[in-house]
Amino acid sequence: MKAKIHPEYYTDAKAICSCGNTFTTGSTSKMLKVELCSKCHPFFTGEQKIVDTAGRVERFKRRYKLNE
């Protein structure tokens, strides 16, 4: 392998989730900002979350008459 072409690897990189949870992981970046983590992801929490952007879910339900 060539010398001095690989990025520096941080074993103590800090990851910050949008829910406020923070944890330490390994990465080539010193700080990571993530949208979902194991504390708020629906797979791990067992809750069903629908992130509605600009009314897409309601528009889908109206279109296919799922609100009846």
On average, the pLDDT of the chain sits at 83
The larger pLDDT score, comparing residue 25 to residue 65, is at: 25
User: 10-63 adopts what CATH topology?
Assistant: Rhinovirus 14, subunit 4 (4.10.80)
Instruction: Tell me the per-residue pLDDT of 26-53, one tens digit each, with 9 for 90 and over.
Output: 999 999 999 888 888 777 777 766 665 6
Taking the domains of the chain in order of start, what are their residue ranges? 10-63
Cα torsion 48, 68, 65, 67 to 10°: value is -30
For position 68, what pLDDT does the model report? Answer: 57
